[in-house]
Chain A
Amino acid sequence: MAHTLPPLPYDENALAPYVSAQTLSFHYGKHHTGYLNNMNKAIAGTELESLSLVDLIRTVAKNVEQKTLFNNAAQVWNHTFYWNSMRPGGGGEPGGTLGELIKDSFGSYDEFKKQFITAGTTQFGSGYAWLVKDGEKLVVTKTPNAETPLTDESKVPLLNMDVWEHAYYLDYQNLRPDYENAFADNLINWEFAEKNLERVFAG
């Protein structure tokens, strides 16, 4: 059965001025939908069609000959995760369990933010910055293109920030760090990240 995209979790203009409605319209309506269509076309009529999205990604990740399918499938998952990593009125220092874990892992929220932004800025070309749970600690990582921590089952992704140029070029042009700062200060959906953490704790 063909996969479908969940709707954006907010209106297209909900993240403005940090991410514009125009950017979200292209990003969700063209890029994300494009990856979905390419993936569905590639798996149609094959046994891969019966797999869940996560199982599909983990299965084809092991086969270099299925790189194109991996790229499209992983981008379907990465983007849904990215939409949920943001919310209107988000960002800033989190409290609760996550706030404590961030202090334990990075020393301070500011140190986390610095590492997260550096990861995004130094991801040369297209890719993502991530906050992941690795054992009992949280760590910041970066991945090129469609690569995703989902394929490393020892790590649990908590949130991601898309640094493909299409994620910010209409709004920030070459100023990727400005986008990253706006993302950290005004968009991060810490409730989503905390939910991912609880899911892990629940096994």
Chain B
Amino acid sequence: MKCSVSTLAAILCLVAAALLPTAAEAQITIPTPTITPPTVTVPSVQPPSVTMPSTQPSATQASTSASGYPYKLAPLPYDYSALEPYIDAETMKLHHDKHHQSYVDNLNKAIEKYPDLQKRSPEQLLRDLKQIPEDIRAAVRGNGGGHVNHTMFWEIMKPKGGGEPAGPIAAALRTNFGSFDAFKTQFNEAGTKRFGSGWVWLVSNPGGKLEIVSTANQDSPITDGKYPILGNDVWEHAYYLKYQNRRADYLGAWWNTLNWDEINRRFQKASTGL
């Protein structure tokens, strides 16, 4: 059979037409009932123009918006480069604009067909996780957790932070752990031991006692009835560009970023029964 150039071109064109949508689809098709991960490419979204003060307790709670999506990503309360040299600007940009945004988008998607749930704060969703319909529970757990955890994370850090804690939290750490240094050592150890992705936390348990706990993936202590006073993200995306496999170095450096005013505010909130 004679195959002219134009026929060949037509065949190539048909093959390309058949293949290209498949390849594109493979990147974006995610079954809705399962947890959607932080790694999905999301279109860059302009952060809301309203500046949210770092002490604003409802940074995760969205106002109703024209788009109908209840949850929104608050802008980072400082520049991407503000935590240098402990956390680099590129990591901050990806972490806030891509990973956190993706949790917000996927949480909004998960609760799309449950208007009643959209009225709840993400903290409420996590507290009552067992009441969340089963078909979206894993998605709410992962993405709601991702949203709440990261919102806290940005707020408990600040430029020129760190140093010795002051205020009520300083005394509480001494009472519960002996000294600030002993607390840091135990906290860093728990962060190093978390196998895989997760978080390490200082929480106030239901009896009001402070304890160090670690959770897998984006699981929130709120689901266990514990209030997170501070927490460090030990997913590799939080530190890999700068520290690679050296998680312990990242855990050690992170103390230089802490915003003890905000941590004291959270501690007070925990002490006064949320």
Known A125-B196, A164-B196, A165-B235; judge A174-B99 contact (CB<8 A): yes
Interface size on B, residues (CB 8 A): 38
Who on chain B is nearest to A111 by CB? B22
Task: Give the interface SS of chain A, mostly helix, strand, loop or mixed.
Answer: helix
Q: Is B67 an interface residue (CB 8 A)?
A: no
Binary CB contact string for chain A from 109 to 129 against chain B (1 if under 8 A, 0 otherwise): 010011001100111111100
Contact partner of B240 (CB less than 8 A), chosen from A113, A114, A165, A181, is A165
CB atoms of A26 and B38 under 8 A apart: no
Q: Which of A80-134 contact B (CB under 8 A)?
A: 110, 113-114, 117-118, 121-127
Instruction: Report the minimal beta-carbon distance from A144 to chain B, rounded to whole angstroms.
Output: 7
Q: Is B195 an interface residue (CB 8 A)?
A: yes
CB atoms of B23 and A176 under 8 A apart: no
Residues in chain B near residue A3, CB distance under 8 A: none
Additional 10 contacts, C-beta under 8 A, given A126-B236, A181-B23: A114-B25, A121-B40, A122-B30, A124-B36, A124-B218, A145-B196, A165-B237, A174-B38, A174-B94, A181-B26
Which residues does B use to contact A, with CB under 8 Å? 19, 22-23, 25-31, 34-41, 94, 98-99, 102, 138, 142, 195-198, 216-218, 235-237, 240-241, 244-245
Closest 5 CB pairs of A and B: A176-B39, A165-B236, A125-B197, A126-B196, A145-B196
Which residues does A use to contact B, with CB under 8 Å? 26, 30-31, 34, 68, 71, 110, 113-114, 117-118, 121-127, 144-146, 164-166, 169-170, 173-178, 181
